[in-house]
Every structure is written in structure tokens, then in C-alpha cells.
Amino acid sequence: MLEWSYSQIDIVRSLILLLAANGAPVLAVLVFGKHWNWPIDGGLILRDGRHLFGHSKTWRGLLAAIVLTALVAFILSINLWTGALFGLLAMLGDCLSSFIKRRLGYPTSSHARGLDTLTESILPTLLLKQSLGINWADILWLALIFFLLEEFVSPLLYQWHIRNRPY
């Protein structure tokens, strides 16, 4: 019989939160279509002539990530507010990667292997590691697992018409 340690359980629970936060904006598009898809940056263009984040970072996606991650946290016996904060931090990490990609000249919704998943996974797990019961090594494992899942599962979600891009 397979026995799980508390550390392994905490890693799995944290990974589920990452997947919930990352998947919530995609689910929100499926549920709400184009409703409430106002860009977080309000269309702001900086001195470099590029948007702050881009039109794909929306208030709908941010709120969906916060709410869904909070609900999933509650189901996993993690504090509801920890879950909500996790969703917020994951999306802030996503916005940070978009900000960096815009400054590097990548178009909105483009893929930057590694950058897209690292900020989303490391920011919430690092800032909430004590609440999640994880350590530095766990955070590195989570970032690696999340990266690999994104690399191998996203193309499948695209083929199944759940995502509109294969990454």
C-alpha cells in the first residue's frame, strides 16, 4: 500500500491550487464568452509603445482565478483566504510574465517557454510556503512539475478545443 508523507500531500495540494488558478481564466472564457473581458491594464500603453500587460489579462480571468482557487482550497481543507490569495498571486505572476514579454517585444498571448509558468508557480508558492506547508525544495519541484504539465498537457487541451492556443 502506498503511503503518502505530509510533504507529498502538501505538494499535491499546492499543485492542484496552481492548476485551479491557471485554469480558471480558461474556464471563465468557456462559461462567459466575451462578457466581462475588460483588460486589467485598461489598454494602457507605456513609453515603449507597448501595452502594460496586453488585452488577454482580464478582470474576468483574475476574479475567476481568485474565486475558483479559494473554492478548491476550501475543498482541500486549506484556508479559504489562503486559496484566494494564492489565486491572486498566481495571476500577479502571470501579469508579471506578460509585462516582461511586452518589454521584450513578444506579442500579446505569445508563448515564452519557462517564463510563462515560472512566475505563476513560484510567486504564490514562495509567498505562501508556510501556509501551504511546503519548503524551498518543494517549490522547485512544483515549478518543474507545473512547467512539464504546461508543456505536455496544453497541446492536448488545444486539440480538445478547450484552449485556443497549443501552449
Full DSSP string of 15-54: HHHHHHHHHHHHHHHHHHTTTT--BTTTT-B-TTSSBSS-
Which residues, at least 6 apart from 17, have a Cβ–Cβ distance to it below 8 Å? Answer: 69, 72, 73, 76, 78, 83, 86, 87, 90, 124, 132
Which sequence spans correspond to the domains of the chain? 6-159
CA of 107: how far to CAs of 56, 77, 81, in Å? Answer: 11, 39, 34
Grid cell in block for residue 151: 508543456
Predicted pLDDT at 1: 58
Q: How big is the chain, counted in residues?
A: 167
Q: Does the pLDDT of residue 4 top 90, yes or no?
A: no
* CA separation for the pair 110, 98 (Å, rounded): 9
Identify the DSSP state of 107: P
Predicted pLDDT at 76: 97
Predicted pLDDT at 166: 64
Predicted pLDDT at 13: 97
Q: Does the pLDDT of residue 164 top 70, yes or no?
A: no
CB 101 within 8 A of CB 64: no
Predicted pLDDT at 163: 65
Q: Which residue has the higher pLDDT, 40 or 113?
A: 40
Half-sphere exposure at residue 48, Cβ-oriented, CA atoms within 13 angstroms: 12
Predicted pLDDT at 165: 66
Q: Report residue 142's pLDDT band, with 50, 70 and 90 as the boundaries.
A: very high
Identify the DSSP state of 58: B
Q: Which residue has the higher pLDDT, 75 or 33?
A: 75
Q: Does the pLDDT of residue 145 top 90, yes or no?
A: yes
Q: Does the pLDDT of residue 109 top 80, yes or no?
A: no
Task: Give me the mean pLDDT over the 104-110 stretch.
Answer: 80
